[in-house]
Every structure is written in C-alpha cells, then in structure tokens.
C-alpha cells in the first residue's frame, strides 16, 4: 500500500463503481498517510421491487419490437412503455450519484466474472517488442472465440517454477459486451478509466485487508444470488477462475441447504482439479464472501474440507469515518483501491478507448514540462554566464592588448591520410546500413502462419535464428524451423497436406523474407490418444 508524505500534501480521491446482478454499488476512497479512508458509499437497487419478484427484465430488441408494433385501438388503454435492462441500469447509476451528492466523472469499474474469460498459461521468454503478437497467438488455444471478436489484455509475470519462461495472465471479454457496458456508463455521464474483471477487484480488497498471503495457496469463494465464483490463487496469481450457476434463490427461500450442498460439491471439484494440475500444491486457506446469510456454514466447510476458512471482510484495510456503515460491496471497495495502490496484475479492458486521450494528455504535459524546463535553464544560464563572462572578457581584452603583433602560420593536415580515414568510415557505414536494412523479425512470420494454418493442424515448435558470417559480415544466414501435428484425413495423402501448407507459406511475403529455400524435413504417422496423427517438420533457409 502506498503511504508517503505526498498522500498528505496532495490527497487523491477515487470513485469505484460496480454493477452487480441486482444493485449498483458506489465507493469513494481518499488517500492518506494512515491508509485509504472511506469518504462515501452508496448502493441502490437496479429494478423496482415488483420487477425483482417477477424477474421480468425485457431485452432491448424485444422492447423495440413491442414499441414499434403495438398500436392500441380506441377501446384499449395505452400501455406503459416497457423499459430495457440497459435503461434500468443507467437510471440506477444516475440515482446512486445523485443520492450521494457526487459529481459524475472518472470511475474505475469492473465486468462481472461470468462475462470475462480469465486464463493462465506459461510460455518461453519472448522479447517485449514481440510479446503481444506471440501471446495473442498462444491465447487462441484457450479462448473459444476469434481474437477479432474480443477485447483483451494480459500481464506477464516471471515464472517461479520454470527457468527461461514467463507466466501469462490473459483476460478477454466479447467486444459487444464491453461496448454495451461503455455505452451505459457514457449515457450516465461517466468516463471509465479502468475496467477490470470483478474477481481481481475482490482479490485486491482482501489483500488490502491482509487476508491474502502470497506464500499461501488461497481459494476465494464468492456466492451471489444465482452464481458461484471460485478463484484459486497461487503466489497471489489467479490460476483457476470458475463460474458455476446455482439454483434460483429468492428472499422467500426458508432453507439454503440445497444451495450450500451444491457449493460444497463444486468447491471440492475445483480443489481436486487444481491439485491434479499441481501435484505438489494444496489449498491452504479459504476466504468466503457471500450475499446469502452464512450462519455457521463456513465453519462446516472448514470441518468438511479440513482447511482453515475465513469470512471476507474488505473493511479491515480501510479507515471508516465515524457514523458511516458501508454496504456489503467488496468488489466496489477493491475497485476504488485500484486507484490508490499499485496492482499486482495490471489489467485494463478499456485501454484502446483511452489511448487517444492519454496520448493527447501526455503530449500537452510534455510540452508544458519542456517549456518550463527550458525557461528555467535559460534563466540559470543567463545568471551563470553574466557572472563568468564579465571577468573572462576583461582578461581577454587585456591579453589581446599586451600580445606582440606577429603572424601565425597554420600547418595543414596530410591529405592522403584524411582520404584513407574517410574511406574506412564510409565502408563501415555501408556495412552497418546493410545489416540494419537486411534484418527481419519473427512477428511477421508468425502472423503469416496464423492466417493460413489448416483447421486440423497445430504447431508444437517454431525456431528462428539469424547468423552473421564471421568472414563476410555483410552476409546474413537465416533459419526457420516449424514442427507440428495434424489429424490425418484418409481421403488426402499425408504428404499432400504438408505440401499444400508449405505451398501457401511460400506465397506469403512475410515468412519468405530473406529466405529462398523451403523443404519438408520429415512427415511421420503416429498414434496420439487413439487418433491417427502425423507429425511434420518444415525448414526455411536463406538467403
């Protein structure tokens, strides 16, 4: 947690906003030397009580068709216009700001867990300039949508278990979902500066409350009205994030026992899966956060699973003003904390929307900073010059007046030696220009492979290398080796599939750049889990 003298001299206020299943939560935190302080909070229901009990949330498309086709006769009473789900949410957002006397502006918000895909995977270390293309290529294996259909972000962390590798936390959400959410916020007069997955906000709230220890494997269990979220952390990083639908729960339900039985079964299933993935690891601690009355159920979970259980309490890490009794809105507290603390996992799903604004803001700040620095340096230089130049000028004038009147002959340098130095410099310059202009990158080659790889083919290894000839440094030799597998189609020959793939690769300018020769090294049929599969290896060399 950032606590320094700047937080006193220039305290910062941050607004966290979260749209849950049935409420809009609002939290305003202020930085300070003693830690974040709760200034205001608010919580309003999205739907009127009669709509909550009936569960009637009208889709926007249906409401539009009703309003377009409904033409009441003279005998009929005009029906009240049906509101869409989006209109209910926009009204609730406006209402929570008005009721708490807060001016709409910049907010930090989150997408609900069920709308977001969070994936963890490992990759070999890749240079920063090539990471984005390589990670998006690898993420296709884990995301059930085309990359063009989603908005994504990722965080790279150094791997603690495998050398020369990196851990990647990849997050994606469908474009229409994020656009719909942004439209609602904009309609309410808000500007979201950060949008992250709700489980990350929950993690941050419990971390600030010192309920999470990065040395301990922790499971965060969030229980909503009809959804269960299981988030398993290892070294503070989410390795497994699951969303499980629950039975429909209403306030009239007298017993939550069937729901808790299902939750306990899903927890066991998630923990078993995690421990199979990491045989040397076990779940050391469970944090349960619920909108349902737990009573003593969390104690039963601890006894059943033989794992220590805590009830999540986000207020442990926040100073609460006198007389303020916050609502149960842990995710919203975590969002407000995002603006006051350095995030372990820096995910923002609205970076592209803010890119133009940030560039303009940064440009103006840089101009102002440079102008201020230039004026300051000019003033300092003038003062310094006046103090130094005056005595030097006097001394120079005195020296000139006293020196003898003699002529000075200047001897010229040897012309052939200068010509030799000039030729050597030009030769080195031409060599460097040749090396720079001939350089190629792996990213463009990977992009070509992604475009043309067949449906039933996948790659196992791609190696690329450039070598400079020691005797002739203007000569660069390149090697590209591709290994992979494909499911055998009995109607088509094994080598025909590889030949077609190789032919398409040859037609792509990016992958052939600087390499004139392409060969099939090997094609071998193997058995993989009862399926007929062929492995193949293709190499490109050049020039």
CA–CA dist 17, 109 (Å, integer): 5
Torsion region of 507: left, alpha or beta (phi above 0 gives left; psi -120 to 50 gives alpha): alpha
Among 10-19, 77-86, 233-242, which is the least confidently predicted range? Answer: 77-86
The CA-based angle 26-340-41, given to 5 degrees, is 20
Q: Which span out of 200-214, 247-261, 506-520 was modeled with the highest average pLDDT?
A: 200-214
pLDDT value of residue 12 = 83
Look at residue 14 and tell me whether its pLDDT is greater than 60.
yes
Look at residue 89 and tell me whether its pLDDT is greater than 90.
yes
Among 124-138, 387-401, 498-512, which is the least confidently predicted range? Answer: 387-401
Q: How confident is the model at residue 15 (pLDDT cuts 50, 70, 90)?
A: very high
Q: Which two tokens stand for residue 348?
A: 């923002």
pLDDT tens profile 309-331: 999 888 887 877 655 666 678 89
Percent of the chain with pLDDT over 70: 83
CA–CA dist 20, 112 (Å, integer): 7
pLDDT value of residue 2 = 47
Q: Which two tokens stand for residue 153?
A: 């972000």
Among 40-49, 51-60, 101-110, 534-543, which is the least confidently predicted range? Answer: 51-60
Look at residue 239 and tell me whether its pLDDT is greater than 70.
yes
Q: Which two tokens stand for residue 368?
A: 């102002």
DSSP 499-527: HHHHHHHHH-HHHHTT--EEEEEEEEEEE
Element (H, E) at 406: none
Q: Are 202 and 231 in contact (CB under 8 A)?
A: yes
Whether the bond into 104 is cis, omega within 30 of 0: no
User: Average pLDDT for residues 295-321, to the nearest whole number?
Assistant: 86
Centre a 10 Å sphere on the Cβ of residue 410 and count the other Cβ atoms it contains: 4
Look at residue 4 and tell me whether its pLDDT is greater than 70.
no
Partners of 37 in the β-ladder: 30, 319
Number of helical (H) and strand (E) elements in the chain, helices listed first: 15, 18
pLDDT value of residue 217 = 92
Look at residue 193 and tell me whether its pLDDT is greater than 80.
yes
CA–CA dist 43, 326 (Å, integer): 9
Distance of CA 388 to the CA centre of its chain: 55
User: Average pLDDT for residues 137-164, to the nearest whole number?
Assistant: 88
Residue of 228 and 353 predicted with greater confidence: 228
Among 50-59, 76-85, 90-99, 228-237, which is the least confidently predicted range? Answer: 50-59
What are the structural domains, with CATH classification, of the chain?
438-542 (3.30.980.50)
User: Average pLDDT for residues 493-513, to the nearest whole number?
Assistant: 80
Look at residue 130 and tell me whether its pLDDT is greater than 70.
yes
Average pLDDT over all residues of the chain: 81
Among 457, 451, 436, CA closest to 511: 451
Among 247, 342, 206, CA closest to 220: 206
pLDDT value of residue 413 = 62
pLDDT value of residue 254 = 59
Partners of 156 in the β-ladder: 168
SS3 107: strand
Per-residue DSSP letter, 280:
T
Look at residue 66 and tell me whether its pLDDT is greater than 70.
no
Q: Which span out of 76-80, 172-176, 245-249 was modeled with the highest average pLDDT?
A: 172-176
Question: For strand 476-487 and strand 531-542, is the pairing parallel, antiparallel, or unpaired?
Answer: antiparallel
DSSP 375-404: HHHHHHHHHHHHHHHHHHHHHHHHHHHHS-
pLDDT value of residue 384 = 76
Q: Are 135 and 153 in contact (CB under 8 A)?
A: no
Beta-carbon contacts of residue 28 (< 8 Å; ≥ 6 apart)? 13, 14, 15, 16, 38, 39, 40, 41, 100, 102, 336
pLDDT tens profile 396-452: 777 767 655 545 444 456 788 788 888 888 877 777 777 677 677 778 778 888 888
Look at residue 61 and tell me whether its pLDDT is greater than 50.
no
Task: Quote the longest CA-to-CA distance of the chain.
Answer: 121
């Amino acid at each position: 947690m950032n606590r320094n003298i700047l937080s006193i001299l220039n305290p910062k206020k941050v607004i966290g906003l979260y749209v849950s299943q049935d409420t809009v939560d609002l939290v305003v935190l202020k930085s300070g030397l003693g830690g974040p302080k709760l200034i205001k909070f608010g919580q309003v229901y999205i739907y009127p009580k009669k709509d909550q009990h009936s569960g009637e949330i009208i889709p926007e498309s249906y409401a539009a068709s009703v309003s377009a086709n409904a033409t009441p006769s003279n005998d009929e009473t005009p029906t009240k216009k049906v509101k869409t789900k989006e209109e209910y949410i926009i009204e609730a957002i406006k209402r929570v700001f008005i009721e708490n006397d807060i001016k709409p502006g910049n907010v930090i918000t989150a997408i609900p867990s069920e709308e977001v895909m969070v994936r963890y995977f490992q990759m070999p270390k890749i240079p920063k300039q090539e990471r984005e293309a390589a990670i998006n290529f690898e993420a296709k294996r884990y995301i059930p949508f085309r990359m063009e259909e989603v908005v994504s972000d990722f965080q790279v962390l150094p791997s603690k278990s495998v050398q020369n590798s990196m851990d990647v936390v990849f997050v994606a959400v469908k474009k229409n979902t994020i656009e719909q959410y942004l439209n609602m916020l904009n309609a309410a007069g808000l500007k979201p500066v950060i949008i992250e997955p709700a489980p990350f906000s929950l993690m941050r709230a419990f971390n600030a409350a010192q309920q999470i220890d990065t040395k301990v494997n922790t499971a965060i269990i969030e229980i909503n009205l009809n959804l269960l979220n299981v988030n398993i952390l290892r070294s503070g990083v989410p390795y497994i994030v699951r969303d499980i639908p629950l039975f429909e729960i209403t306030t009239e339900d007298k017993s939550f026992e069937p729901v808790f039985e299902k939750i306990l079964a899903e927890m066991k299933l998630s923990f078993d899966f995690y421990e199979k993935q990491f045989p040397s690891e076990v779940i050391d601690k469970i944090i349960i956060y619920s909108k349902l009355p737990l009573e003593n159920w969390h104690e039963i979970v601890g006894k059943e699973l033989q794992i220590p259980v805590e009830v999540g309490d986000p207020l442990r890490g926040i100073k609460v003003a006198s007389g303020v009794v916050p609502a149960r809105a842990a995710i919203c507290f975590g969002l407000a904390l995002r603006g006051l603390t350095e995030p372990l996992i820096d995910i923002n799903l609205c970076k592209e929307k803010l890119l133009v604004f940030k560039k303009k803001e940064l440009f103006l700040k840089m101009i102002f900073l440079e102008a201020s620095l230039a004026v300051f340096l000019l003033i300092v230089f003038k003062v310094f010059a006046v103090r130094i130049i005056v005595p030097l000028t006097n001394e120079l004038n005195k020296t000139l007046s006293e020196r003898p009147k003699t002529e000075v002959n200047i001897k010229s340098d040897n012309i052939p030696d200068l010509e030799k130095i000039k030729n050597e410099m030009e030769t080195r310059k031409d060599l460097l220009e040749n090396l720079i202009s001939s350089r190629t990158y792996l990213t463009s080659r990977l992009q070509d492979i992604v475009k043309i790889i067949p449906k039933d083919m996948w790659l196992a290894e791609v190696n690329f290398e450039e070598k400079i000839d020691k005797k002739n440094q203007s000569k660069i030799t390149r090697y590209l080796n591709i290994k992979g597998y494909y499911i055998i189609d009995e109607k088509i020959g094994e080598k025909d599939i590889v030949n077609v793939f190789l032919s398409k690769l040859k037609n792509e300018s990016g992958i052939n750049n600087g390499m004139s020769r392409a060969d099939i090294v090997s094609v071998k049929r193997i058995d993989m889990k009862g399926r007929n599969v062929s492995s193949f290896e293709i190499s490109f060399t050049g020039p």
